[in-house]
Amino acid sequence: STSPASTTTSGTTPTESFTTTSGTTSSSFITINATTTISTTFKTLPPVSTTTSGPTATSTAQGDSWILCNCTKVICIEDNIVQVIPIICNPPPKPTCANGLSPVPVMDEDGCCWHWECDCYCTGWGDPHYMTFDGLYYSYQGNCTYVLVEEINKKVDNFGVYIDNYHCDARDVVSCPRTLIVRHETQEVRLTTAQPNTLQVEVTVNNQLVALPYKKFGVSIYESGINRVVEIPELKMNVTYNGLSFSIRMPYSLFGNNTQGQCGTCNNNTADDCMLPSGNIAENCETMADHWQVVDPSKPQCSPGLVPTGSPSTTPTQPCKESSICELLLGSVFKPCHAFVQPEKYYAACVFDSCILPNLDLECSSLQIYAATCADQGACIDWRKHTNGVCSHECPSGKEYRACGPIKETTCKSRGQNETSTKQVEGCFCPNGTMLYDSGVDVCVKTCGCVGVDMIPREFGEKFTVDCQDCICLEGEHGIVCEPHVCDQKKVTCDGEGFYEVTEVNPKDSCCPLFTCKCNTSLCTAKAPKCSLGFEVHSYIPSGQCCPVYQCVPKGVCVHENAEFLPNSSVFVDKCQNCVCTNDVNVSTQLNIISCERVPCNTYCQPGYELKPVKGECCGKCVQTKCIIQTADNSELILSPGDFKNDPHNNCTIYSCVDVHDQLIASTSEITCPPFNEDSCKPGTISFLPNGCCRTCAPLDSSTPCSVRHRKDFIVYNGCRSVDRVDLTECEGTCGTFSLYSAEANSMDHSCSCCRETSTTEKQVVLKCPGGHAVSHKYVYVESCSCQDTECKRPASKELQNNEVNDKATTLTKVKRAISLTSK
């Protein structure tokens, strides 16, 4: 067919135009004069890229050609005559890609026609599983850092993608991706999993944490659904990572036949995907993957260049029943995608993960990467709701999950722009009726106003205060305009001890603090005094002051021996007084007065008892000091310790009182007399012995001269007695004593002679006393006796009295001896 060219001429010289058609090509010849300006208009087509070139007036030679706009080729014929030939494109046949994905249309260099290409698309997921650029599937469990893709012939400065794996099970058998590293020229981007087996990813550029979106030096990083995407527009490539899986997409036109690493060689041929750094082909990609280690200072156990040992076997030792979630890949849930992407390799990876790591839910990554690949091919699958919550994805507050959301969510800033991509991704998006404010401001708004640093949406014209700035949301390019918040309050001066200035939050205006004076008694120098007993500290704060005034005031109590007593309470002073605290106050001491009364005591004691003081007691105690003896006639006889006394009616009964170890012992002794026959006595010689109980006489046949008489007896002295009987001597016998009448003198002549000692010696004996101690005692021992004359006189009354006393003493001694004999 023939289609005329539309020509518009302007100038002073007319120009002829015509069109010829040959097949599908039409041409127009235009004559151009030097003074003619030509403007030609063609129907515009929207090419992907357009290249326009044309000659200058001085450089165009005959036969030269160039592309004019609207896919029109211009050829210089001669003499300013050009031939205009419209370029017509025929659709090329659609090839089959080795990786099983759909080819993509790519514009030719002239920007008019296009052709098909198979993009370089490499993925990895789980523990981990790889799909090379050409679609070869393998699993590899190394835990070092490896090359995923580098150029064979370096065309881009410092370019490469690397992966850092780590052992993600307790047995150190399998590995999982931890960090994806993208290098481009001066920048190194790291996408790192914040927590193992989660979708939380942190992004750093040159070891500095960055916020998204990030765009600098030819690298763009942004969020797309659950993914973090690193895009290099100049290379038309992007790297996607979400913590569980990654994908690398590169154009064949720039990287075809020029890639190496664990992602293989991108040439639409799987035969050379397991290529080693030397260029040789390994038997399998598991062996190949070991050789792509890189130096990583954080992993000293990894040494690039060493021949790796075989990877540990990851085949279950016992038959394993795969997770039911894996069956979803082959079932109806993913059936809409089966025509685009075959699920078998992903199913095998899912079974592997569920058997080797059954407790990590790692099989979800196989479903996730398969769903992402399906979405890339145009088949979006809402699959998570069929996993019974095992593979659920929680969204933050204000967002909702969608399996099929836009790659780039529309924002208030981008809503006027046309997004050409129709691909979809899963992730958390703003609910219907709201819109993301901006890609760097993760806030969903109903109306597009302003969002400040407080992340709160504002409407146009709205005034608000944030960070003590008075702000207003303005429509247009200004956005939020702020100025410092003005405060009217003046500062206060705090005088006086204890006061200090306090800055408080103003409940009415948090930006303008309230300045007040507060009292802090810990700043006061005066200290509370230490009051004496019976007094306490009272304090009061005078009006308008902070620090207290202290004084000691009476407590209204009595004080005795460092103790306080309340009024009407008993006070112990001593046992001899009853004391009580009264309400009366001593004017000088200001303490209450203690009133005391003497405790009444009994002063009468029975006979034989005496009142004696008791230590620690206020009243004395009647203590027995004498023996109380009941006589035969029922009368009482009181004797002091050591006293002896005859019964008033019977000299043969002797009462005594002895103190033995502070115990008073009263005893009654009866004197036993030897047999006495008055008929055998000389008349007139019968008398009582000195004890007044037994009688004695001179026998009828007695002519015993004066001589020493021996006897065995105890010696008693001051209550002490000899241990054994002692040999005692005495003078006994008759002497010539008589009274005769003298006729010459007409009176009585008296001749008196006494049997007396003529020689004596002094002996010693040991006496045992009641207290248990012993004393030495001396006594007289008669060696010889004789009759000695003595003057015969009538005794005077005093002498008689003395004789009676002596007789009593002699009697007492004999009584004691008798008592001792009785006790023995």
Cβ atoms within 10 Å of 726's Cβ, excluding its own: 16
At which residue do the structure tokens 């015993």 appear?
A: 704
Q: pLDDT tens for residues 786-807? A: 878 788 776 554 544 555 445 4
Nearest to 497 by CA among 521, 532, 470: 521
Angstrom distance (rounded) from CA 737 to CA 759: 22
Q: pLDDT tens for residues 503-549? A: 888 888 888 888 889 999 888 998 889 999 999 999 999 988 999 99
Q: Could you say which DSSP state residue 653 is in? A: E
Percent of residues, the chain, with pLDDT higher than 90: 39
At which residue do the structure tokens 């005893």 appear?
A: 667
User: Is 819 a residue whose pLDDT tops 60?
Assistant: no
User: Against a cut of 0.95, is the pTM above it?
Assistant: no
Backbone φ, ψ for residue 461 (5° rounding): 90, -10
Residue type for position 531: C
Q: Say which range, 30-44, 208-222, 535-549, 596-610, has the weakest mean pLDDT.
A: 30-44
Residue 195: which residues within 8 A CB-CB, separation 6 or more? none
Q: pLDDT tens for residues 161-188? A: 999 988 877 666 778 888 999 999 999 9
Average pLDDT over residues 547-553: 93
Cβ atoms within 10 Å of 300's Cβ, excluding its own: 7
What's the Cα-to-Cα distance from 460 to each of 449, 463, 478, 747, 822, rounded to whole Å? 5, 9, 11, 178, 138
At which residue do the structure tokens 């992966």 appear?
A: 163
H/E segment holding residue 401: strand 400-406
Q: What's the CA angle centered on 544, arms 539 and 548, to 5 degrees?
A: 20
Angstrom distance (rounded) from CA 203 to CA 219: 13
Largest alpha-carbon pair distance within the chain?
Answer: 238
Sign of CA dihedral 273, 279, 281, 286: negative
Angstrom distance (rounded) from CA 133 to CA 149: 10
Q: Report the chain's C-alpha Rg in angstroms.
A: 71
Q: pLDDT tens for residues 631-689? A: 888 888 899 998 888 888 888 888 899 988 888 898 888 888 888 888 888 776 777 77
Strands (E), 340-484: 400-406, 424-429, 435-438, 441-445, 450-451, 457-458, 463-466, 469-474, 479-484
Cβ atoms within 10 Å of 678's Cβ, excluding its own: 9
DSSP letters for 68-121:
ETTTEEEEEEETTEEEEEE--PPPPPPP--TTSSPPEEEE-TTSS-EEEE--EE
Q: pLDDT tens for residues 439-497? A: 888 889 888 888 878 888 888 888 888 888 899 988 876 688 999 998 887 778 888 89
Average pLDDT over residues 305-309: 57
Q: pLDDT tens for residues 349-408? A: 999 888 887 777 788 999 999 999 999 999 999 999 999 999 999 999 989 999 999 988
Q: Tokens for 577, please give them.
A: 């007084």
CA 795 from centroid of its chain's CA atoms: 116
HSE-up of residue 182 (Cα within 13 Å, Cβ side): 26
Of 239 and 423, the structure prediction assigns the larger pLDDT to: 239
- Number of residues in the chain: 824
Q: Are 311 and 141 in contact (CB under 8 A)?
A: yes
Average model confidence (pLDDT) for the chain? 82
pLDDT, residue 19, reads: 29
Nearest to 522 by CA among 500, 540, 504: 500
pLDDT, residue 806, reads: 52
Beta bridge partners of 550: 539
For residue 416, give the 3-state DSSP assignment: coil
Residue 723: pLDDT band by 50, 70, 90 thresholds?
confident
pLDDT, residue 710, reads: 87
Nearest to 261 by CA among 135, 346, 147, 392: 147
DSSP letters for 1-13:
---PPPEEEESSS
Angstrom distance (rounded) from CA 570 to CA 581: 6
Determine the straight-line distance between the first and last CA of the chain, rounded to whole angstroms.
178
Average pLDDT over residues 418-433: 85
Angstrom distance (rounded) from CA 176 to CA 352: 13
Angstrom distance (rounded) from CA 824 to CA 821: 5
pLDDT, residue 40, reads: 35
